[in-house]
Structure 1
Amino acid sequence: MTVHASHDCAVPCGRIPLMRVAILNDVGQSNYHVGDEAMCHAAVDALRARGVHDVVVLTRDVEATLRYFQGVEAVPTLRFPWPPEQREKRLADIDRVLAGSTDALPGSDPLFDLIETIRGVDAVLIAGGGNMNSDYGWLLYERAAVARIARHVNKPVVLSGQTLGPSLSAADREVLRQALEAATLVGLRDAHSLRLARSLCPEHRGIRPSPDDAVGWSLAALAAPWAKHGSDSPVGRTSVVPTIDQALERSGGADASVTGASVTDGSVAGATSTQSADPTRPRIVATFAPGVGPFDQGEAAEAFAVVLDALVHRTGGTVEFVPHLAQFGEHDGDEEFHRKVAVRMHSPSVQREIETAPTSLRRTLTADYVVTTRYHPLVFGLAGGATVLPIAVDNFAEVRMAGACATWGITGQVVPLAALITPRAVAWDLREAAQKWTQEAVEAQDAIADDLLARRPDVRELTDAWWDTVVVGLTGSTPAPSSLPPVAPSGAGTEISRALRRDWTRPETPLPQQARTTVAIVMRTKDRGLLLGRALDDVLGQTFADWRLVLVNDGGDPTPVDALVAEREHEFAGRTTVLHNGRSVGMEAASNIGVRAADSEFVCVHDDDDRWHPLFLQRTVAHLERPSCTDGGVMVRTEIVYERVDTDVEPPVITETGREVFWPQLQAITLADLVSINRGVPISFLYRRNMHRVIGDFDETLPAVGDWEFHLRFAQAATIGFLDGQPLAYWQQRPDETGELANSMHAGAQVHRRYDLAVRERHFQEWTRDNGLGLPLFMAREFQSVQHRLDALERQNAELTVLLREQQRELHNVANVLADNSFFGFIKRKLRRFFGIA
């Protein structure tokens, strides 16, 4: 067909011209991913419903895709390596080929076949997914390459149902921008992605909000109305299963086979049976990914088990683990992690093996409750009218889950895993929080089901309109914006969800400037934009969100500082205060300025070149908030990270060169240890603000070792707790750097030694003023006597070393003489004479 010039076009009433469309989606992976396969099913079915039947699926496994998708053509897609530098090189090679340099890649490279495939279609649809970020960089580059190929051969590109970021390197951000610019239409399934796309391509007229691709596919399976919760049907709804089976079979995607299931009794770990779940009990579908963000798998599995047990206790239901990603027959991925959760439960559970997307959809659509850390079980559960308890293990998961809920007008219901593990004001511990959350969920079940049922027509209309728009975009025209309003906000949900979120998610509205927060983070900086940007992202990466950052620019250029903060304005949500000193006042004075600029319960100093583990604030705040805790502050196990900065490239690159644990033998923070040498650094310390009333401020007369002097006074007045185990703070060191990028302890080593002595002398003078010189004089004589003895021993050791070396030489000479007089020595001499060797 002929590609039309891009122009605004309303969704047509007439028939779309016959088209041949290539679909790129993450299908055919060795690990079967229900969500990715579901989105491809959704795209194929939506196009067919609009008259587009000639579909080419770009896949990693042609045979598997043809087995699961009927009536499509399947061809291999491109693959990119994981290492960033390698994928960047491959994309550059592809660009050279497209520019006419056919020898940039060997003729056997699959790129050339893909170019011909795309040349032979009318348009390319890059179907939904959450992989356009640096964490999945090889998939981002695959999409970017396909978009560039399509643009090269003059074929329209549409991106549908995407999540962008939030993790993006500078290079990947530019690759993403170019991919968006190449598309006629871009559908973003969450507010964060929509905002990011518009910031990257502010003039792009085709950037739109969209539902997830699989929402419409899920709703299409519901050919008959759902009954209200509480009906007499075995699964709580009327005639659901036959209707879904029939609908899926008609769509050509049915897979009626049910793989084996086992029942695990939480009271006997690992006990299994072939019995099925009781169909008269409420069905609780649980799906958890083995990736648990910054948390340990065991800790996360325990939290999931506690929530499921609480829900079983409240409902009398049966937990059914439905895996979302695993290899068929290998029992890995979600299946393996589900077993870890099941053995921690006190309730029996049904263990399902991985199943195809249509079967997995059916199981989740018919659930009464869905508890999940995965995105598409949430999508399926909402479509089915279930009460969903979504748990986000990290920011990426929360962004996507919030978008899925927003499609139905629901806000504030995604609970971060951090909030369950450390619930703070909601509860004293995980079990109490789980009981409160599940109790509200059970009490709200009917209201939630009725609300979702009432919204279903609006959501169905929204998804239908989106796919109509996609088809227009595939013709090369920029569709006119939809006239449909978003689904109205819902009042359904639980207040406990919102309360649990309060301290663990970015504020939905900017924080008032004078609002008191739990933690004040003081960050000192001066002309180190490269390091400062990393430090700002480090703070934003904390699982605990109730903080205010006070950024003190100590005499540096204010322009780059303001720009770096402005780039992250939405993420900071009013939680930053930026102070520019007209001239440098020194590190300790800058710390005092920052401490006084924000009200809080706790304080920490985060230098612009250091980093935290994402759990630093969560763990340290939890320690100090324990009812039994009397510590004035707490330090954490710290790791030294060595790095270098390559400033010869643009942008400059920071490369890690090594690591070692800081004071690995350290088991506690004591004054006795601190008087010898500093055992902590600012990045490792969180303390109570009221300690300043007791010990005063940071000493502004010290250009170095000010943190050590502060720790000495602190340990005199209060105990300092210590969190052993995994390092939660990273002390970044650049021994070879000079200038602004240097560490003060390396670049100013002489200054450190000078003020180390000055601090010791000051405190010694204070002590002698109060206690006199008697004890120091006596100890000085004893120390001098000990020093004399040590000096004598050192001289003696030196003499013994010389004698030992002389004896070693004599022994070596004796050994040589003996060797020459031995039988072998005799033979050796004869051979030398025979061959005339001297």
Structure 2
Amino acid sequence: MPRILVLADLGRENYHVGDEAMGITAATQLVDRGFEVHIGTTNLKHSEHNIGVAHGYIHTLEFPSSPAEREQYLEEVRQHLLGQPARPEIEEFTQAMTEIDGILIAGGGNMNSTYGWLLYERAAYGLIAQTFEIPLVISGQSLGPVLTDKDSEILQELLSASRLVGVREISSYQWTQDHNVPAHHMIDDATFYVSEHRQLPGETVPDLPDQYICATFVGLDNEQIQHLAKALDEAYKVHHLHTVFVPHKGTPGRKDEDYLVHAAIARQMNSKPIVLPILHADAAVSIHRNAYVAIANRYHPGVFSLSSGVPFIGLIPDAFTDMRLRGMMSHYGAENYTIPLDSADATVYSSALAEIIRWHDDISSTLFQRTSQLRSFSEAWWNAVEQALTGSADLQNKLPVLAPAVSLTPQSWTPVAAEQRNRIYRRSLEIAQGYADQDREQSWERDYQNRRDRMEPISDEIRRAVKQNLTDAPLASVVIPTLNAADVIGHQLECLSRQVNAPAFEVIISDNGSTDALGAVVDGFRDRLNVRIVDSSEIQNVSYARNVGIEDAQTDFILICDADDFVCEDWVRSLYTTLKNHPNSYVLGQYLNVADTGDLSLENREIYQLFTQPKWQNLFIQEPNPHEKIEVHFFVGGASFGARKHDLLALGGFDSSYKRGSDDWDFWARARKAGMQQVESYGAAVLYRISQSPRKQFRRHYFYALNDVLVTVRYPEQVQRDISLLKQGFVLAKTPYRLFKYKDAQSRLKTFSEGGYALGAVAGFLKYKLLRQVPAPLLMKRSS
């Protein structure tokens, strides 16, 4: 019997009817299909009592609410899955998940930045599913609408790891299409919840009227409370309908959350409403379904009402509720029965209630007809979930399409409500998105300040670890080719002295003929780094300097960086681990470009944040194929590179016939021809300086292009660069015009860079392709 882990937002002390209902429904559907269901929960005892249907319970990971902290926590999970130690709860959770055969992330509205800690919790399950090749299904989700750029990346990664994805609204479905994620438009997981007789501790339900208005509210101000009290009293006076307030969220045994709002409305009313405490989903759902009409500014009361033929009015306080509530109501054609909360008064509420009461039978009949269609769709969806979890192939074309409903149109208040609702949506979304972006920025600023405040203790700790490493034989060798870089190499050595979770490593500075104070700078790091300088001045060429450093290395793991950049704090570990896990490979790390404004150091806030910020540990692997062109997924080069020493020696190292570039591509081409695997590692990141001098950029890109032509002439199958003579000739011809037209610094910098590359491409074509002046390779003498 396959063991399936169901994750919903379960186990909270503050009981949430909708979350519990979705989790119970998902678990029940799987149990009915023969699965052994385990529940991911924050409170084992709580869920054992309140759910009951599961075979077992696993304590889920609880992520911090701070964006910076949750990003770092997720990265710790990612690193642990790659073999690194982690805090005990991560290790215990990961171990428990190795016993699971499939994962179902049940529905909810938490895949956004507003509830980012829940998004990241789900992202951890996605990483586990990928690592252990566990089938993953994501059901009944709302995506966004508020997402920071980082959270959007995390969400896309999570959805892409899933075999089957279902989203509840057209807007969420559109998000998946915009991000090339296969998905299905569906209904909420709890739509057809089956009530039993479970109860919360101390739960009692009084006798209710035969006909009543079911009401659920949260977060109302005094004016809104007065308006609703007046409207509900009016409904009793005219239509003889009592109001029953049903909390959707609250702590059992306490009067909090929704109950406080309901009690405040009841105190303003004369019609003696019934104010219920928080109830188990079994009782709460039944009360919603037995109502005559319903009104709420929460989501699931609408789900339970409409699916039972109960006319429902949704009150919209913000963009998040608007997207979810109207998205759900559109499944029944009832999306126009919504009112913007901020701009309504008692008259609007009374008019809306009067209308759905007057047309109750017609609306209810229409809802029941639609419910029959949705029930068939729901059954097909859960069958598809079963197939996905058991490994059935190609589900994308087997599910029926969720057909749209015919929209119902209220009589009197719709046009005004629609106009106000759209205005409130735009304003609310703008505010919420701004807050999310600011919250993330401020959280990283706090993290930066905390790290800066603790820098000396951390530095002492790192220094002690390095001293211990000085007594151990190094496992990796960092090679830095250097020529007159005394003014910048200290920053790179500082980065290397602050590496985290790194193996013991040596640093070999290959001096290509420096005449500055290089030795004095290096001496300042000998108490923190196993560092030495070797002489490579015989041939002044970066490739030659790299080769001399490689030959001098004591280990077989060679990691290469430049003197003027900043390797990130886990650069050594990432390159070393990747090389160790992929023996027949060379590894390329990503470049994170930073503008060289002349004041770059770890004291710079942007540099320090990039240095410490967790990096994705994704790997792109290009399997050995001597005749396949080299493909890269991010900007790469010799400034973040790793390979085994024996492979480097066997291939002759780097070719010193290249001047100022493309020697790295030349090595990769030879490695590919020799049958080596190419691995790109996001984690092996380096902050790469981009000069802001137009003259320097013109000269740099000229040599880039010149050497790109040379390497493509030598290895036309393996290396294909953008050196079309026609294209680059056109760029070169337009360069004077662009310099005349664009006067701002960034445009001129771009023009000089592209113009330099175009000129180099034309010169390379003439020299290497037309005149065939191709130099002989200049490799290591020790090549074999």
Distance 2:363 2:272 in 1: 26
Q: Indicate if the aligned counterparts of 1:419 and 1:500 stay in contact, CA closer than 8 A.
A: no
Alpha-carbon spacing, 1:388–1:499, altered in 2? closer, same or farther (3 Å): same
Find the counterpart in structure 2 of residue 362 from structure 1.
Answer: 286
Find the counterpart in structure 1 of residue 190 from structure 2.
Answer: 214
Find the counterpart in structure 1 of residue 376 from structure 2.
Answer: 461
Find the counterpart in structure 1 of residue 245 from structure 2.
Answer: 321
Q: What does 1:136-285 align with in structure 2 at a 5 Å threshold?
A: 136-200=115-179, 202=180, 204-205=181-182, 207-217=183-193, 221=194, 248-249=195-196, 254-255=198-199, 259-260=203-204, 276-277=207-208, 279-280=209-210, 282-285=211-214
Residue 288 (str. 1) matches residue 204 (str. 2): no
Find the counterpart in structure 1 of residue 18 from structure 2.
Answer: 35
Alpha-carbon spacing, 1:407–1:258, altered in 2? closer, same or farther (3 Å): farther
Alpha-carbon spacing, 1:84–1:451, altered in 2? closer, same or farther (3 Å): same
Q: Indicate if the aligned counterparts of 1:34 and 1:324 stay in contact, CA closer than 8 A.
A: yes
Residue 445 (str. 1) matches residue 428 (str. 2): no
How far 1:140 moved relative to its partner? 0.8
How far 1:309 moved relative to its partner? 2.5
Q: Secondary structure at the match of 1:214?
A: coil
Given candidates 417, 425, 445, the residue that maps to 1:501 is 417
Residue 47 (str. 1) matches residue 21 (str. 2): no
How far 1:71 moved relative to its partner? 4.3
Residue 397 (str. 1) matches residue 321 (str. 2): yes
Find the counterpart in structure 2 of residue 760 from structure 1.
Answer: none
Q: Indicate if the aligned counterparts of 1:20 and 1:122 stay in contact, CA closer than 8 A.
A: yes
Distance 1:438 1:138 in 2: 38
Q: Indicate if the aligned counterparts of 1:392 and 1:398 stay in contact, CA closer than 8 A.
A: yes
Which moved further from structure 2: 73-82 or 61-70?
61-70
Q: Secondary structure at the match of 1:503?
A: helix
How far 1:121 moved relative to its partner? 1.3
Find the counterpart in structure 2 of residue 413 from structure 1.
Answer: 337
Q: Which amino acid in 2 is paired with 1:69?
A: I
Q: Indicate if the aligned counterparts of 2:42 and 2:59 stay in contact, CA closer than 8 A.
A: yes
Q: Deviation string for 1:69-99 (max 9, x for gaps)? A: 2242011000011111111111111111111
Q: Deviation string for 1:448-486 (max 9, x for gaps)? A: 111112222211101111111111221244413355343
TM-score normalised by the chain length of structure 2 = 0.53
Distance 2:246 2:382 in 1: 29
Distance 1:21 1:145 in 2: 16
Distance 2:430 2:276 in 1: 42
Distance 1:179 1:536 in 2: 23
Q: Secondary structure at the match of 1:29?
A: coil
Q: Indicate if the aligned counterparts of 1:310 and 1:434 stay in contact, CA closer than 8 A.
A: no
Given candidates 375, 383, 393, the residue that maps to 2:307 is 383
Q: Deviation string for 1:133-179 (max 9, x for gaps)? A: 11111111101011111211110111100011111112111111111
Which moved further from structure 2: 125-134 or 67-76?
67-76
Q: Indicate if the aligned counterparts of 2:370 and 2:405 stay in contact, CA closer than 8 A.
A: no
Distance 2:170 2:123 in 1: 22
Q: Deviation string for 1:683-742 (max 9, x for gaps)? A: xxxxxxxxxxxxxxxxxxxxxxxxxxxxxxxxxxxxxxxxxxxxxxxxxxxxxxxx99xx
Find the counterpart in structure 2 of residue 758 from structure 1.
Answer: none
Find the counterpart in structure 2 of residue 799 from structure 1.
Answer: none
Q: Secondary structure at the match of 2:406?
A: coil
Find the counterpart in structure 1 of residue 47 from structure 2.
Answer: 65
Q: Indicate if the aligned counterparts of 2:63 and 2:73 stay in contact, CA closer than 8 A.
A: yes
Q: Which amino acid in 1 is paired with 2:297?
A: T
Q: Deviation string for 1:367-389 (max 9, x for gaps)? A: 00111111111000012211111
Q: Secondary structure at the match of 2:420?
A: coil
How far 1:259 moved relative to its partner? 3.4
Q: Secondary structure at the match of 1:145?
A: helix
Distance 1:32 1:408 in 2: 28
Q: Indicate if the aligned counterparts of 2:306 and 2:367 stay in contact, CA closer than 8 A.
A: yes
Alpha-carbon spacing, 1:434–1:177, altered in 2? closer, same or farther (3 Å): same
Distance 2:154 2:68 in 1: 13
Find the counterpart in structure 1 of residue 475 from structure 2.
Answer: none
Find the counterpart in structure 1 of residue 386 from structure 2.
Answer: 471
Distance 1:349 1:535 in 2: 36
Distance 2:46 2:200 in 1: 17
Alpha-carbon spacing, 1:540–1:154, altered in 2? closer, same or farther (3 Å): closer
Find the counterpart in structure 1 of residue 397 from structure 2.
Answer: 481
Q: Indicate if the aligned counterparts of 1:414 and 1:497 stay in contact, CA closer than 8 A.
A: no
Q: Indicate if the aligned counterparts of 1:288 and 1:338 stay in contact, CA closer than 8 A.
A: yes
Structure 1 residues not aligned, in runs of 5+: 1-17, 222-247, 262-274, 421-429, 509-518, 522-532, 542-644, 653-738, 741-838
Q: Indicate if the aligned counterparts of 1:408 and 1:459 stay in contact, CA closer than 8 A.
A: no
Q: Secondary structure at the match of 1:58?
A: strand
How far 1:493 moved relative to its partner? 4.7
Q: Deviation string for 1:73-129 (max 9, x for gaps)? A: 011000011111111111111111111112xx23xx211222122211111000001
C-alpha root-mean-square deviation of aligned residues, in Å? 3.2
TM-score normalised by the chain length of structure 1 = 0.50
Alpha-carbon spacing, 1:404–1:150, altered in 2? closer, same or farther (3 Å): same
Q: Deviation string for 1:187-209 (max 9, x for gaps)? A: 10011111112222x1x33x111
Q: Deviation string for 1:481-518 (max 9, x for gaps)? A: 3553434523535233522432223399xxxxxxxxxx
Q: Deviation string for 1:333-360 (max 9, x for gaps)? A: 1111211222223322101011101111
Q: What does 1:79-98 align with in structure 2 at a 5 Å threshold?
A: 79-98=62-81
Q: Indicate if the aligned counterparts of 1:310 and 1:438 stay in contact, CA closer than 8 A.
A: no
Find the counterpart in structure 2 of residue 431 from structure 1.
Answer: 346
Alpha-carbon spacing, 1:451–1:153, altered in 2? closer, same or farther (3 Å): same
Q: Secondary structure at the match of 2:6?
A: strand
Distance 1:165 1:354 in 2: 28
Find the counterpart in structure 2 of residue 655 from structure 1.
Answer: none
How far 1:540 moved relative to its partner? 14
Find the counterpart in structure 2 of residue 113 from structure 1.
Answer: 92
How far 1:182 moved relative to its partner? 1.1
Q: Secondary structure at the match of 1:45?
A: helix
Q: Indicate if the aligned counterparts of 2:200 and 2:252 stay in contact, CA closer than 8 A.
A: no
Distance 1:534 1:283 in 2: 38
Distance 2:341 2:17 in 1: 23
How far 1:256 moved relative to its partner? 9.9
Alpha-carbon spacing, 1:307–1:148, altered in 2? closer, same or farther (3 Å): farther
Distance 1:210 1:649 in 2: 44
Q: Secondary structure at the match of 1:378?
A: helix
Q: Indicate if the aligned counterparts of 1:62 and 1:75 stay in contact, CA closer than 8 A.
A: yes
Q: Indicate if the aligned counterparts of 1:98 and 1:152 stay in contact, CA closer than 8 A.
A: yes
Alpha-carbon spacing, 1:133–1:341, altered in 2? closer, same or farther (3 Å): same
Q: Indicate if the aligned counterparts of 1:373 and 1:391 stay in contact, CA closer than 8 A.
A: yes
